[in-house]
Each structure stands twice: as structure tokens, then as C-alpha cells.
Structure 1
Amino acid sequence: MISDRKDDHVRFAAEQQRHLEGYNQFDDVSFIHHALAGIDRSDVSLATRFGGIEWKVPLYINAMTGGSAKTGAINRDLAIAARETGVPIATGSMSAYFADESVADTFSVVRRENKDGFIIANVNANASVERAQRGIDLLQADALQIHLNVIQETVMPEGDRSFSSWAPQIEMIAAGVDVPVIVKEVGFGLSGETISLLAELGVCVADVAGRGGTNFAHIENDRRDHADYSYLNGWGQSTPACLLDAQGAGIPVLASGGVRSPLDVVRGLALGAAAVGVSGGFLRTVLDGGVPALISQISAWLDQVEALMTALGARTPSDLTQCDVLVRGDLRAFCADRGIETRRLATRSLSGTTMHEAVGGTR
């Protein structure tokens, strides 16, 4: 049953989060420290604008769950935390609702608990325009997220095996619904070429959702009798790699996947993301400590993002794209192979170089 699968996803995702400490490619990004770059904190604004969307903060709770009694309770808690901290929130895939309307409340609880918040509905790329609009209407959603999950479906025992219709279906949804459309991966990353194609399909925003956080190949493999897809556990590009690959792709990008701290949020913004999303880390917090713990964590992160922006001299999130950063290690090797110039990122504050100009590669 779909509800059982949703519960399995939460259980395996939470367990993964307990083993994700340590290096990921966000650690290959560091800021050049300029000791006199700091500004007054009163001059800093966290507001961000992209693709016709305006948020008060550049942090959001990304898609997680819904479709069962247990996951509905989680959605309620996430919605309360979003309401109390002012962060936008996306639900998990609404496929369960389209298959069984009796689980509608496990999704609509997000709007009920967060009446004035920015809420994003979530559907798969197979959804019809009618279904996508039903999902939007159920949540009174402010935007629609379409998730791409070819690798997850491939490993999922009961997953889809036909993907050629996804691009034309996304184009129809983008043209047919009445809210902005965001297309996201589920943890394997979006290449620059994919983001350019999404722009051509009429998509407003892309969430790169790279490798480094919840690994759905691993989760679905754990659900198989013989766990025979373990060789795909490292598939995909990291979130920082996707952000660097996305420059000039034609639409704004969001960053999620492997975000562990306020520093990772600021790193993502500095690499060109308009906002940064967290799923697994916030899930672990709410499961371990409840709503008060998640409210405390999100509030602390927003406070620390503002503090880091103050120290870096960035009055707005977009100003972080003028801060000097070093790209090293595996991430630098990825950029070299993809023809992405990174050296100019280390001096862009002096030259006034834009993010797009700094990483303009040979592709």
C-alpha cells in the first residue's frame, strides 16, 4: 500500500540522517575572509525574490511526506514550525491523495495549521494538469513542485519504468496551472542541461536537490528483497556541483540536498541559489524533539544566516554572490571536467564580477 511505503520512506530517511555526519561537497566551498567587509546587522535583509516569488527568508522546509496517519502527523508538526518561523514549506508527493482521497487530510493539515504561510504542493512528472490543479486546490498552494526521481523509480520495486513522457507533461502542467511551477530532483541533482531544458518547457524555478542528503536509491534498495541496487548509492551530482553547473541556464535555482548548517545555507546562496531547502535534517529534529525543537533550530539557523551575511558584508541573499569563495577538492575537479571556471570566484568582490561571469565555462 502507498501509505506503508510512505511510512517506510520516513523511517529509512530518519535512520539515514543519523549517519550523514562528515564531509560532503559543501565543504569544498570556503569564503575568503575580509576583516573589514562587515556591515551593520540592521542593514541586512533576509528577503529573497525569484521567478515571480517573494519570500521573507531564504530558507524553506522542503518536500518530505504525507499519505498516511503517521506522515500526516509529521506534516502537521512541520506546518506549525513553518508558521512560527515564517519559512515556506513544501509537502511530500501527493500521489497517495490522487490514489485515495481519504488521505487528503494528511496533506491539507499543512494549510490548516499554516493559514497564511507560503505552501508548495508536490506532484510527480506523470501527473495530469487536472491532478496537479487538484493538489494545488487542496492546499490552496502558492506554488507547485514537480519532482523528478528516475533513479528512485528505477530502484523502487513497484516504481515507474517509462519516462519519455515526463518532459512534455511538465510543459503541459507549467502552462496549465495557475501558480508558479518549480521542478526539483529528489537527491540526485539537476545538470545545467536539464535546467536549460526546464526553462524551455516554461518552468519558473529549478530546485537542484543534489546528492548529499537523503538518498532515495538507498532507501528503495533497502525495501528490496535482495538489496541488489547498492551500486547506485553514490549516483548523481552534489548540490554545490549543480549550482555551479546551473549558471546561465535561464531560470532561478534553489538549493537543497546535503544542507547541514547555516554555513551551508550561506554557501548555497553564494553559489547562486535564491533560497536553500532542508528536508532530512529538519525531519530528524522534529522526530527526535518535536515541534519546539524544530522551531528552535529554524530560528537559530535564520539568526546565524543573518549573522554570517553581516560579517560577509551582504545586505541581501543575492549580495552573497559577490563574496569571494574558494572551490577546492572534488568539487573543483568536477568543475574542471565540466569546463566551469572557478578561479574568478575568489576575486569577484574586487572586479564586480557576477556569478554567471565568474563561472562562465566553455560549454
Structure 2
Amino acid sequence: MTRAERKRQHIDHALSTGQKRETGLDDITFVHVSLPDLALEQVDITTKIGELTSSSPIFINAMTGGGGQHTYEINKSLARAARAADIPLAVGSQMSALKDPSERFSYEIVRKENPDGLIFANLGSEATTEQAKRAVSMLEADALQIHLNVIQEIVMPEGDRSFSGALGRIEQMCKELEVPVIVKEVGFGMSKESAARLYESGAAAVDIGGYGGTNFSKIENLRRDKQLNFFNSWGISTAASLAEITSQFHDKAVIASGGLQHALDVAKAIALGASFAGMAGYFLKALTAKGEDGLIDEIRELLQELKVIMTVLGVKTIPELQQAPLVIQGDTHHWLKERGVNTSAFSVR
């Protein structure tokens, strides 16, 4: 099977496997504010990751590319939607285009369609610094995502089996690239220990890619003769991963992703400490079901609903939302307690 065929197969399986409510975000409850003293029109959802400023904390996270005309059309529509709604966009891994220049068009379309928008390039941790520079140049990207997908590669029939030297390569990229480096998990969550090593290496932000969203173990298992089903429930939930990291790294940039399905999920993720919230599967399904115009409407409604939630919480800005009191219950509370996280710090601030 060619790389392009595999990319197209990933899209089909991502749509068919769907998402479960296993992010842990249902364990999070906001403390109700009876006197918010705020009008909807006063809410400002501008946010920052390092030196990058966005008019929205919601962005279209990495999905695809390198799958020929099919993924070209997806990225074209995503780029148009990002431009219309004024939100950032990340592409899928560009290794396909680096190895096969005929696939570049399926990525380059995002900059052609969105010439002034925030765009994130993307490569795996096996990439070299030289490849990273080429990926950024290909899109005139504003940042580079380096994705960590050990479980996916292990389950993938033709995947990598060696992950040596990844941290050293990431550190070198952070030193030599002229754009911020964001290190992203792909659906299995990130621990505070892993985040610490990445911040020390120079990463501008970590994207926790929590368990509960698109499950790449399930996707790759569908492509195996002998399935490794024990990896299908492997990982740290989105809520637990966020709270682990933000409770220890108060001054570091954290991006939430992994199964976010509506504005309340986004608000909870930000209140757990995230500066950005990436959504991929949700937008892909909206695009597939409603088309490009329907996706644009969906994004605009999502942004408006986030403002509505912020209004009733009495918070004008994203930094204020990051400090909104919330209560952590259930499995997420148990996980965090066992991991030494003081959950009361979230509820009495």
C-alpha cells in the first residue's frame, strides 16, 4: 500500500470509528456565577501562544495531506473555512511531500487559500532539522507541530519500531528553527513528566492530544490481521492530562486537543489551563456532513457559544477563563489524586 493510499484509508477509518465521551471532560463542572456583571459584547476571545496572537482560541488541528486529490480537497475546504472564520489551521504530517514532491500540492493549497492566516506545519519526531525547515518553508508556516505517535506507529503494520533520539531532534529543531515548535501527542495524552522534558528541550508549547478523541490505535488495528486491541484503551484522558501539566507548569503554553466536541468542552479545557483548543475529528465530520459552507457556520456558532459561556461565567478574556473555578469529580479526580495533583486548587481560585 502506498503512503497516499494509507492517508486516504486513515480518513475513512477516522470517520467510521468515531469519538466516545471518554475525554474526562464530563468530570469537570463550572462553579455557577449568579452575578456575572458582564455583557456578551464585552467578551474578547483573543489568545496567545508565545509570540503568536490569534483572534480565537479554537483552531483546526492536524488532519491530513499527502493523499492525492482527496486530501487536497479536504485541506482546500479547511483552509477556506479557517480564513472565513479567522481561526488558525494545522496540516497533517508533511513527510509525504518531503519524500514525494508530487504530494506538495495537497499541503500548499492551505497557504494559497489562506494567505494571511496562522498556519502550523507538521512532521513526526523522526524528522531531521533540515526536513523541518523545508516543511515550514513549504507553507510559509507560523509554527511547526512535531507529533508524537508511538502507539499509532507500533500498531501500524508498516509503522516505525524505533523511537530513539526523538528528544534530541526536537531540541535541535527548537534551537535552529525561526518559528515556534509545538510538540503534539496524537490521542494518547501527555504526562507532566513528558511535558517537563519537552519544555526543557525548548518547546514553545505542548499539545496534550488526550485520550478520548480520534483513536489511532483502533484505526491502525482495522488495518492489521492480528489486532493489538490492548492499545485501544491506552492513554491519559484529555482532562487528566491537561490538569497534570497545567498544575505544575503555570507559566508554560499548553494546547488542549483530544475529543473536544462542543463549546462547553472548549471552555472547560481552557479553564483547566489551556491557551488554545484544537479540534480535528469534529470539523472533519462537519465538513463531510454539511460541506464547506456548513463547516464555516459550525465554526462561527462554536465561537459564539464560547462567548456565551464566558458571559455567564463573568469572564471577559481567555486569561480570566483560565482562572474560572471548577470542580473535578469521578475518574479524573481519582487519577489526579493518585498523581499528586491538588484538585482543590482548581475549585477555590
State the TM-score, normalized to the length of structure 1: 0.93
**Corresponding residue pairs, total:** 345
Q: Distance in 1 between matches of 2:299 and 2:233?
A: 29
Equivalent runs, 1:7-46 vs 2, <5 Å: 7-17=8-18, 20-22=19-21, 24-46=23-45
Once the two structures are TM-superposed, the CA of residue 43 in structure 1 deviates from its matched residue by 2.0
Equivalent runs, 1:85-124 vs 2, <5 Å: 85-124=85-124
Q: 1:260 to 1:168 in 2, by over 3 A?
A: same
SS of 2:322's partner is helix
Q: Distance in 2 between matches of 1:199 and 1:214?
A: 25
Q: Distance in 2 between matches of 1:311 and 1:172?
A: 45
Give the corresponding residue for 1:66. 65
Over residues 18-59 of structure 1, what are the superposed CA-to-partner deviations in whole Å (9 max), with x where a residue is unaligned?
Answer: xx3545411000101121024122221110012221111110
Give the corresponding residue for 1:308. 309
State the TM-score, normalized to the length of structure 2: 0.97
Q: Distance in 2 between matches of 1:45 and 1:339?
A: 34
Q: Distance in 1 between matches of 2:30 and 2:58?
A: 20
Once the two structures are TM-superposed, the CA of residue 66 in structure 1 deviates from its matched residue by 0.3
1:79 matched to 2:74:
no
The CA RMSD over aligned residues, in Å, is 1.1
Over residues 211-246 of structure 1, what are the superposed CA-to-partner deviations in whole Å (9 max), with x where a residue is unaligned?
Answer: 0110001101111123x2111101110111111110
One-letter identity of the residue aligned with 2:142? D
Give the corresponding residue for 1:166. 166
**Contiguous gaps of at least 5 residues in structure 2:** none
One-letter identity of the residue aligned with 2:84? E
1:188 matched to 2:188:
yes
SS of 1:168's partner is helix
Q: Distance in 2 between matches of 1:49 and 1:106?
A: 28
Q: Distance in 1 between matches of 2:56 and 2:346?
A: 25
Counterpart contact for 1:204–1:252, Cα < 8 Å: yes
Over residues 93-139 of structure 1, what are the superposed CA-to-partner deviations in whole Å (9 max), with x where a residue is unaligned?
Answer: 01111110001000000001111110000001111111111111110
1:262 matched to 2:263:
yes
Q: Distance in 2 between matches of 1:194 and 1:22?
A: 25
Q: Distance in 1 between matches of 2:312 and 2:53?
A: 24
Over residues 132-171 of structure 1, what are the superposed CA-to-partner deviations in whole Å (9 max), with x where a residue is unaligned?
Answer: 1111111010100000001101001111111121010111
Q: Distance in 1 between matches of 2:10 and 2:213?
A: 14
Over residues 305-344 of structure 1, what are the superposed CA-to-partner deviations in whole Å (9 max), with x where a residue is unaligned?
Answer: 0111111111111111221101000100101110111123
SS of 1:246's partner is helix
Give the corresponding residue for 1:237. 236
Give the corresponding residue for 1:139. 139
Equivalent runs, 1:337-348 vs 2, <5 Å: 337-348=338-349
Q: 1:172 to 1:70 in 2, by over 3 A?
A: same
SS of 1:134's partner is helix
SS of 1:5's partner is helix
Q: Distance in 2 between matches of 1:345 and 1:183?
A: 25
Moved over 2 A (4+): 20-24, 247-251
SS of 2:151's partner is helix
Q: Distance in 2 between matches of 1:273 and 1:48?
A: 10
Counterpart contact for 1:38–1:312, Cα < 8 Å: no
Q: Distance in 1 between matches of 2:335 and 2:55?
A: 33
One-letter identity of the residue aligned with 1:234? S
Counterpart contact for 1:208–1:239, Cα < 8 Å: yes
One-letter identity of the residue aligned with 2:186? V
Q: Which has the higher contact order (CA 8 A, sep 6+)?
A: 2
One-letter identity of the residue aligned with 2:311? T
Q: Distance in 2 between matches of 1:205 and 1:21?
A: 26
Over residues 2-21 of structure 1, what are the superposed CA-to-partner deviations in whole Å (9 max), with x where a residue is unaligned?
Answer: 0011001100001122xx35
Give the corresponding residue for 1:209. 209
Equivalent runs, 1:318-329 vs 2, <5 Å: 318-329=319-330
